[in-house]
Chains A and B, each alone.
Chain A
Amino acid sequence: MKKVNILSVCGSGTVSSAMVGQKIKEMLGEHGYDCEIHEVSPGMVAGAVGSSHVDLIAFTSPFDPNDAEGIPQLNAVGVLTGMDEETFLEKALEVLKDLK
């Protein structure tokens, strides 16, 4: 399995991000990715990106895109609600297949 590091961002950095993180881990796991998920609040994005390697950011709360310049940022509200997991999955796979 290919290892990827994903930042899951929600308002508090605990609940929604944990739920989204868990689902992403399952979804991408089925496609051969071993996801390491870090749950953070929007204010923690810059620090997290600065201190460790991040391949992809999944968010349910907005954050300053400049805090994570050059890292793909995908809206994950559809994953949270379960109403549209497909859109996220397609975009995530697209992003991840370009990883070295």
Chain B
Amino acid sequence: MELVNESLICLHADVKTAEEAIHLAADRLMQEGFVTSDYAQAVIEREKTYPTGLAGAGYNIAIPHTNPEFVIKPGVAVVIPKDPIIFAMMGTPAEKLACQMIFPLAMKSPDKQLQLLMKLMSFFQNSEVLKQVYEAKEAKTIMELMKELEN
């Protein structure tokens, strides 16, 4: 199962808001056949009620996602914005986090999603790996780093 491909990785993304970042990732995910055309709107709506900003190791990240009905096959996109983007914090929407990395998720079966979520969370706890993702000069580097999520 190929969760990440180079087209899903957006480095130095010129996006200013959470919505723009989600749209950017959603377009890529849609072009690559991971999600349906209404994925972006569904993610944006969900984010308003159940935000996904998280304080990771040394960096803030966000994992916008939505229900399986908008997903064709599982995948993870990566958006590294030029400047950090504000997301509300998961569990505490009143708190805002300036997120350096955004990982929009396209998830299908709850079982698979649980496994992937656990892998992602340990990925986000590794400040060294996050640093390498954040400072990556090309998509290939991030692909390599994220390979472990696929096993």
Binding site for B on A (CB under 8 A): 10-12, 14-16, 18-19, 42, 59-62, 75-77, 80-83
Contacts and interface: CB of A to CB of B under 8 A. Distances in A.
Interface in B44-103: 46, 49-50, 54-57, 67, 89-93
B146 interface: no
Contact of B114 (A19, A59, A82): A19
Interface of B: 46, 49-50, 54-57, 67, 89-93, 107, 110, 113-114, 117-118, 121-122, 124-125
Contacts of B93: 62
Given A77-B54, A81-B121, A18 B91 contact: no
Nearest to A12: B67
A77 B114 contact: no
Contacts of B56: 81, 83
Nearest 6 pairs between A and B by C-beta?
A11-B50, A77-B91, A61-B50, A14-B110, A15-B113, A75-B91
